[in-house]
Structures are given as structure tokens and as C-alpha cells.
Amino acid sequence: MMILGIETSCDETAAAVVEDGRKILSNMVASQISIHRKYGGVVPELASRKHVESIVPVINEALSKARITMDEIEGVAVTRGPGLVGSLLVGICVAKSIAYVKKIPLVAINHLEGHVLAAFLEKEIPSFPFVALVVSGGHTNLYYVSDFAALELMGQTRDDAAGEAFDKVAKLLHLGYPGGVIIDALSKEGNPNAINFPRAYMEKDTFDFSFSGLKTAVVNYVKQNPNIVEHPESHTISVADLTASFQEAVVDVLISKTIKAAEEKGVGQIVLAGGVASNSRLRARLKDVARDRGLKVYIPAPELCTDNAAMVAACGYYRLKRGFQSSFDLDAISRNRDFD
């Protein structure tokens, strides 16, 4: 089955063609980073306007790259949420139009489920059940996954998501945007043990996350040590040491909760997904810790961790195969907790 995937949840306009949920024929992404960089983050109104400009050319490019026509598409999968409502509506309206005109099934996708199923676009894939950590700019969620359409939420962030914390710390330090990529690169030059930032493990029986306290700790450290930003040459702790220490505090909590969830559920496999899954320190340390515990880790390639439409198309294939189909009164959903 040939599925067209459409993804416009935030600031990436993406379209992809995936065959039978596994074979990527095309995976096109139009980035908006250059537009939002000067603001230090995504401006929702600018994002939705750019989606309107880019969506049709990106879909045409995806079809051309896949060497097929729209007549060969057998289903349309589109991200319904969570995300920016204005951005989501652009993709949803286009997907509805295609499905209606071509008389093919339409299926709505939870963006976070798409991230999890990106693992099935790789050569080596996990088997059910497994635990999945989805960590991105807007979400930090832990799932117990027993089937393609059966995800049990075990825990989520109560405040800042991990990726959001990365971006805010980068902005505080005047490092630029997107913050996660910059901090990852800079931290390789620093000492992750230079500053003992707090780890918020929270209540003993919860798998929820919290990163607002860590972010505040970084803010307070910079206030108490202004030279680290203004005159770094006069400070014994470098900016690289600070970012490495901050990153280590985030990674410690993510790994601890994920390993604990896998052991509690009695599974031997972990999937790491979402934009922050591209972080080199998180990828390396999770693999090392999991190996010591006898656990296998599956992580999609970086281009499948960031927002993309191949994961949406793959998720759509598995949902359509299980009888899920969306009606044309489909609307956008901004928050994950509002999904059925």
C-alpha cells in the first residue's frame, strides 16, 4: 500500500511516500529554521504562513522523488496533533482535499506515535512489546508499546520538555537557535561534571519528568557568575563546561526513567525517538547503560528523529491496516492529552 504522509505540526513542512509501512520512496522536508532563528524560537503565525507557501511544492517534490503520480497513492496520513493549531490546519486541509478528490482513505496521526513508529523505517526493527522514550522540543513522554496502534502513556513532562529546556538555556547563553544542536556540539568540548546541577527524579513511583527546576538552576548560576557569558576568559568554568553539565543532568534523568520503565514492564527493548534523540550524548549513554542491563536500544537515524512525514506515512499504513480511518470533519488538536 502506497501512503502519502503530510507533517506540519510545527515549523517543518514535510511530505513523504512510504510503501507498506517500511520502504521510504521519498521524504522531503522544507525547514523554517532561517525564518525563526532571529526570534530565538518558533513564531506560530510565521510558521503557518510558510506552511501555506510550501505545502503544495513539497508534496509535488515528494511524488516526483518517489517517481509516482497522485493516482497511485492509496491513502493519506496527516498529523492531527499535538502541535501548533495554525500549522496543523494547513496540512489537515490539504490532506482532506487530496483524500476527497482522489476518493482514498484519510487517517489522522498522533505526532508522538509517529515518532515511535519511525523505528520501523530502519533495517533493524524492534519487536513488541517495548518501552519508548519520545523526547523533543515540546514533549518528553514514556510509552509502553504492545502493538502498532497500542501505546500506553507511562509518564510525561509536567512542565518544560527536555528540548524546550535546551532551547531556553541556549537562548540564555546567547548561543543561537536551534539550541539543542548547538549545545550538543559545544558540550563535547566541556566537562559534564564541572557543575553539579540538580536532577529532578520526583516521586519514587512516577515516570513523569520535570526540567523547569534545572533550567532555573542554570539561570541562577549564570546570574551568580555573569563573567561566564560576558567575559568567559576570566572564568575557571567555561560555557562548554556549563552546557555539558546541564546536558548531563537532562540525560541522567531521561536514561534513569527509561531504564526503570523497561525493567518494571519486563521488556528487553527500548526505542528512543523524537528530535532530542539526535543528541549524541543521550544516544551513546543510553546504549551503554542499556547494554550493561541486558537491554537492546533502537534509535532511528537523525533525519527520522526530527519532524518528518515518513514516520507519519508509516504510522498511517499500520492504522489503516487495522481498520482506522478518519472522517472529513477532522480537526487539529494542540495538546496530546486531548487525544482519545
For 200-228, how does the pLDDT look when each residue is reduced to its tens digit (9 = 90+)? 988 888 999 999 999 999 999 999 988 78
Amino acid of residue 91: G
> Is the confidence at residue 107, as pLDDT, over 70?
yes
Q: What is the pLDDT of residues 133-176, one digit of tens each?
A: 999 888 999 999 999 989 999 999 999 899 999 999 999 999 99
Q: What is the pLDDT of residues 52-71, one digit of tens each?
A: 999 999 999 999 999 999 99
Position 231 scores a pLDDT of 63
Do β-strands 140-147 and 75-81 pair in parallel, antiparallel, or remain unpaired? unpaired
- Alpha helices, H only, the chain: 33-36, 44-66, 85-102, 111-117, 162-172, 179-187, 212-224, 227-230, 239-265, 280-292, 302-305, 310-321
What angle is formed at CA 335 by the lines to CA 161 and CA 80, rounded to 5 degrees? 115
Contact between 207 and 144 under an 8 Å Cβ cutoff? The reply is: no
Distance CA 169, CA 156 (A): 21
Of the candidates 34, 147, 24, the residue with the CA atom closest to the CA atom of residue 5:
24
Question: What structural domains does the chain harbor?
Answer: 2-117+304-338 (3.30.420.40), 126-299 (3.30.420.40)
Question: Bridge partners of 269?
Answer: 296
Distance CA 15, CA 313 (A): 9
